[in-house]
A and B are shown apart, each in its own frame.
Chain A
Amino acid sequence: MPPDLAVAPRPAPTRARDQRAVARLLDTTFGFLVWAVHLLAIYIVQALACEFGVARPHTHGPAGLVPVLLLLTAAAACVVVLHALRRRRRRHEGALPFRVAVTVGADAIATLAIVGQCFVILLVPPCA
Chain B
Amino acid sequence: MYAGATLVVLLVLVLALVPLFARRARAVDRRLFLWGGGVALPLLTLTALVPYVMRVGHESRAPLPTDRLSVEVTGHQFWWAMAYRRAPASAVVASANELRLPAGERVELLLRAGDVIHSFWVPNLAGKTDLVPGRVNRLVLRATRPGVYRGQCAEYCGLQHALMAFDVVVVPRAEFDLWLAHLARPVPPPAAPELRQGRALFDSLGCSSCHTVRGVSRGTLGPDLTLVGARRTIAAGALHGGVGNIAGWIASAQHLKPGNAMPSYDQLTGTQLRALAAWLESLQ
* Interface positions of A (Cβ within 8 A of B): 57-59, 112, 116, 119-120, 123-125, 128
- Enumerate 18 A-B pairs (CB-CB under 8 Å) in ascending A order: A58-B63, A59-B61, A59-B62, A59-B63, A112-B43, A116-B46, A116-B50, A119-B50, A119-B54, A120-B54, A123-B51, A123-B54, A124-B54, A124-B58, A125-B58, A128-B58, A128-B61, A128-B62
Enumerate chain B residues within 8 angstroms of A58, measured Cβ to Cβ. Answer: 63
| Cα-based distance from A57 to B62 in the complex (angstroms) | 11
Enumerate chain A residues within 8 angstroms of B46, measured Cβ to Cβ. Answer: 116
Interface presence of B55 (CB below 8 A): yes
Q: How far is the CB of A35 from chain B (nearest CB, A)?
A: 16
**Interface of chain A, helix or strand or loop or mixed?**
helix
| Cα-based distance from A76 to B55 in the complex (angstroms) | 25
* Interface positions of B (Cβ within 8 A of A): 43, 46, 50-51, 54-55, 58, 61-63
Enumerate chain A residues within 8 angstroms of B54, measured Cβ to Cβ. Answer: 119-120, 123-124
| Cα-based distance from A125 to B62 in the complex (angstroms) | 10
Enumerate chain B residues within 8 angstroms of A57, measured Cβ to Cβ. Answer: 63
Q: How far is the CB of B138 from chain A (nearest CB, A)?
A: 9
| Cα-based distance from A97 to B46 in the complex (angstroms) | 31
The chain B residue with its CB closest to the CB of A121 is B54
A-B pairs, 7 with minimum CB distance? A123-B54, A128-B61, A119-B50, A119-B51, A124-B54, A119-B54, A123-B55
| Cα-based distance from A122 to B280 in the complex (angstroms) | 55
